[in-house]
Structures are given as structure tokens and as C-alpha cells.
Amino acid sequence: MTHSIPSLEIAPGLAISRLVTGLWQIADMEKDGRVLDPDTTARAMMPYGEAGLTTFDMADHYGSAEIIAGRYKAIAPSAVQLLTKWVPAPGTRSRTEVKKAIDLACSRLNTQAIDLLQFHSWNYADPSWLKCMFWLDELRREGRIRHLGLTNTDTAHLRMVVESGIPIATNQVCYSLLDQRASGAMTAYCQQRRIHLLAFGTLAGGFLSDKWMDQPEPASDKLSSWSLMKYKRFIDIVGGWSRFQDLLHVLHRIGKKHSVTVAAVASRYMLEQPAVAGIIIGARPGASNHVADNVRLFQFSLDDQDRKEIRQVLQTLEPVPGDCGDEYRKPPFLTASGDLSHHVESMPAPYPIRRESDGRIKAFSGTVWEDMAGYCRAVRKGDRIYVSGTTATLGNRVVGGKDAGAQAHFIIDKIEGSLQSLGSKLEDVVRTRIFTKRIADWEPIARAHGERFRDIQPANTLVQADLIGDDYLVEIEAEAIITRPS
């Protein structure tokens, strides 16, 4: 039986169910080396489509999820929307590798064009991720991808991509009652640019449910799934088990009023947030079926008093630090293991280096200016590193377009990449100098610097200068002293 499940157009010609069925648990179902039968599992997805839940989210690393979804598409009685992600390992990629990855996804999904391809970057300091985005946009224009999205991307780098001229339909981020990072600058920019948020983690791996109310705090190493281990870290960081129980009690009271579950209340609240196009709730096709619970989400509404009570209890929680996606890029790593050991094997240096006979080590970013004018991007001598005046150059492109703040963020990424390549980090910076073409741009540039160096606070100078290159709005140089462990 098909229910009236609301949909929303997130890009021209692509409307999705406001509740998106996530297939990440297929990887968990196959973790012991067992491969699910794709045809049997595809048939197990039929109840979702029959209920009007026609949108499915997956990724290249979710086991055989793409293959299963492709088989389901072939037998589905009505149109389905298949959203996938490409999450390449850190390091340099070629255009050929990008095309090969998209061709593989198309083959698995049984399609000539991917509805929505979402990209994840591990290290913003390595410009390879932006090169991939430009190549993906070329494939979009060629018709191999219908729409592009990002996943786990912070506001600064979402802005960087968009202001560079790449159309972005969505950003998929962790967004729940426990994690409200997306509610500020991210939502404001998405509303400004008509970008939609896809929220995952809305049930905190299952913690936001009736079963955990009034239960003793579990030991993290005794939890039964990676998701529970991951979201227990979120609970710890927002204030601990006692405050989490206060939240559950408020949700339970509201749920009882509407004859729905804690999970339904938590999901409904997130679905109503500005810029949110859909929430993603995981499924285990063939193993369990929560279709009826998911449909129930659209059969009740929260009232103003409900929302007020939820906002009040949220104010008692500590905010998750940072911006969207930071949990995958900087401490505290809010992952199941508390680090990236289950995600990446290594983090290659962003730029090539050359060791000189006098002990100097040089890093090169590959701009035409370095060869022409005879300099390197950065040079290390002993414990000191000097980073050349750096602009928003990437090949023959200027990243950030006419947005001075976006250019500044990319420049700082390049500085950070230079430091990483020379065995240092952004926290070692002791001096920055900023040159702006237009004095009117001082504030967005200063704000970008403040966002990235807020806890580092190097000595700084900002002056107006007549920069070389019509499209460059800002240039930044830096000095660092490598800090030795005490």
C-alpha cells in the first residue's frame, strides 16, 4: 500500500522522499565476509517503495549497497531516487580515476546517470579534493551525473566550492538533537544559496529511542554496534548520560501525548528544521523492517509547546565543537574508534618536497608562478618554516570566485598543506601577513583568518596592496616554528 509520503525537489528534476532510507547497514551485515544475495536483498526493499519511501542513500564503501540498489531499481514498480557517495582514500587523484569511479557507480546502480553524487574529502589541506570536484562537475555537464552534493563538509568549504562555480544541490551532515552544529552558519548559507541539507544521525545510532530511557549508562566497549559506539561519544561530549536522560524524558512525554515513539519525535523535530530536505534513517533489508514506524512520522505534527520544550532541554546540552564534518578531520574524533583508524590507512603529504644538500626542505604546490619566478611554496630550515605569499591558485583556476573570504580559506588550506608536507601543522604558525586588493574586503578576509587561527593567534599584519592578477583578492604569507613534544 502506498502512503502519502511528502517529497521535496532538491534540484531541477530531482524530488526526494523527505525520509530517505539509508543503506549503510548493508556494510555491517557483510562485515564478516558474507556477501548478501543482491536479488533477494533487492526484493526485501520492496516494502519501502510500496510505502512511498522511494529514495535510498548509499556509498561506494557500503558493501554491496550500490549493486543491491541497482537490482531494486530494475524491479521497482515506480520511480526511485538513488543517492550515492564517492569517498576516495586520501591522496592525489587523476581525472581518469574520477571517471572510472563514476563509471563503476553507474554500472552498479544500473543507470546511465547518477541522480545525486555526493563527495567526501578527508583533508582540505590537500587540494586534490577540489580537483576532484571540478572533474566531477565536468562529468555532470557531460550527463554522467545529474546533480552534485557534498557530505560532511563544513560551511567554509561548502562556500568555497559553490563560489568557485560548481553547483551543489545538497550537503549531507550529522544533524540531530544531540548535534546542532548545522543549525547556525551552515543553515544560513544553505538558505542563501538554496542548498539543501540531508541529515543523518538523527536517531544517534538508536540511542534516541524509548529503549534507552531510564537505563544505566552502558560501557562504550560493551556496545553492540559501531553506530552505538560512535554516538556514545556524542552523548559524552554534550554533557553525559544524565543530561541525555533528561532529553529522553522530554521526548517520551511529547511522544506519549501524540501516541508516537521517542524516535518519531526526534525525527519529526529535525525534519522541521530550516534547510533540511530530508532525514536519513538506516535500514537492514531482509533482516528487519521499520517501514510502519517510518511512515508514522508523517501522521502527526509537533505543536508550539512541543517545540518549546525541546528547545529548552537542548539548551542544557553542551554544543558539539566545531563545524559539520570536523569529527572526521580533527580532535575530538567522534568516530566509533575515537580516531580515523577504521576509515583511512594513511594521510599522504599534500605537496611534493625536495631535500637540499644544505639541509633545507622545500615544498612545491605546482603553480606556474613557482617555476617562472624561481621559488617554492614553503621552505623549512631547521625548526623554522617560511611560506611564500600565497593566492587562491589551483592550476589555471582561481578558487573562491569573487568571494574574498572563500579565497582566504583556500589560501590557508594551501598554507596548511605546505606545513603538513614539511612535517608541521597550522598550530605551529607564529606570524601571518595578509595583503588585500580592496580594503572593502578586509572583514570577510579577517573573519576567515579568525576562524582558522582563533586558538593559535599568531602575530598578524593586514594591509592593502596592488596584487598581481586581476582575479586575486587576497594574498597571505606565513611563518612557523615547529613545536617539539615536551
pLDDT 10s digits, 376-417: 999 999 999 999 999 999 999 999 999 999 999 999 999 999
Instruction: State phi, psi for 153 to the nearest 5 degrees.
Output: -110, 135
Spatial CA neighbour of 443 closest among 398, 408, 399: 408
Q: Is residue 278 part of a domain?
A: yes
Last residue of a domain, one of 260, 295, 328: 328
pLDDT of residue 371: 93
pLDDT in tens, 432-457: 999 999 999 999 999 999 999 999 99
Residue 457 lies in a domain: yes
Whether 191 and 323 map to the same domain: the answer is yes
Q: Is residue 113 part of a domain?
A: yes
Which residues have a Cβ under 8 Å from the Cβ of 344 and sit 6 or more positions away? 89, 90, 122
Give the whole-angstrom CA distance, residue 29 versus residue 285.
10
pLDDT attached to residue 485: 66
pLDDT of residue 307: 98
Assess if residue 337 is contained within a domain.
no
How far apart are alpha carbons 24 and 382 in whole angstroms? 47
Q: What is the CATH number of the domain that holds 178?
A: 3.20.20.100
- Which carries the bigger pLDDT value, residue 29 or residue 379? 379
Q: Is residue 57 part of a domain?
A: yes
What distance in Å separates the CA atoms of residue 103 and residue 270, rounded to the nearest whole number? 34
Does residue 341 have a pLDDT over 80?
no
Listed residues 267, 295, 328: the one ending a domain? 328
Task: Write down the mean pLDDT value for the chain.
Answer: 95
Separation in Å, CA 347 to CA 243, 378, 440, 452: 36, 19, 38, 21
Using alpha carbons, list the distances in angstroms from residue 410 to 157, 158, 164, 415, 423: 8, 11, 11, 9, 20
The parent domain of residue 260 ranges over: 7-328
Co-location of 168 and 308 in the same domain = yes
For 238-267, give one letter per residue: b (16+ CB within 10 A) or e.
bbeeeebbebbebbbebbeebebbbbbbbb
Distance CA 79, CA 55 (A): 9
Q: Are residues 311 and 363 in the same domain?
A: no
The answer on pLDDT for 232 being more than 50 is yes
pLDDT at 346: 84
Question: Based on the domain organization, do 56 and 99 belong to the same domain?
Answer: yes
C-alpha 481, offset from chain centre:
31
Higher per-residue pLDDT: 346 or 451? 451
Number of structural domains, the chain?
2
Which pLDDT value is given to residue 22? 97
Q: Are residues 410 and 280 in the same domain?
A: no
Q: What would the mean pLDDT of 338-360 be, rounded to a whole number?
A: 89
Q: Phi, psi (5° rounding) for residue 124?
A: -60, -25
Q: Is the peptide bond before 77 cis (omega within 30 degrees of 0)?
A: no
Please give the biggest Cα pair distance in the chain.
76
Kindly tell me if the per-residue pLDDT of 1 is higher than 60: no
Are residues 192 and 265 located together in one domain of the fold?
A: yes
Condensed to tens digits (0 to 9), the pLDDT of residues 156-178 reads 999 999 999 999 999 999 999 99
Q: Are residues 302 and 440 in the same domain?
A: no
Q: What pLDDT is recorded for position 112?
A: 97
Amino acid present at 316: T
In a domain, 431, yes or no: yes
CA distances from 365 to 382, 392, 418 (A): 21, 11, 8
Same-domain check for residues 159 and 244: yes
The yes-or-no verdict on residue 200 having pLDDT over 50 is yes
CATH number at residue 421: 3.30.1330.40
Do 256 and 387 fall into the same domain? Answer: no
pLDDT (0 to 100) of residue 288: 76
In a domain, 192, yes or no: yes
Same domain (yes/no): 145, 182: yes
Arithmetic mean of pLDDT, 44-56: 96
Percentage with pLDDT > 70 across the chain: 99
DSSP string, 276-294: EEEEEEE--TTT---HHHH
Q: What is the dihedral of CA 168, 280, 85, 138, to 10 degrees?
A: -20
More confident residue, 409 or 221: 409
174 and 72 share one domain? yes
Asked if the model's pLDDT at residue 129 lies above 90, the reply is yes
Give residue 254's region: left, alpha or beta (phi > 0; psi -120 to 50): alpha
* CA 409/CA 306 separation, integer angstroms: 40
**pLDDT tens for residues 72-113?**
999 998 899 999 999 999 999 999 999 999 999 999 999 999
Does 336 map to a domain? Answer: no
Query: Residues 476, 415: one domain?
Result: yes
17/52 Cα distance (integer angstroms): 8
Overall average pLDDT of the 179-206 stretch:
98
Grid cell, residue 241, equals 548520560
Q: Is the model's pTM score more than 0.85?
A: yes
Confidence of residue 3 (pLDDT cuts 50, 70, 90): low
Q: How confident is the model at residue 151 (pLDDT cuts 50, 70, 90)?
A: very high
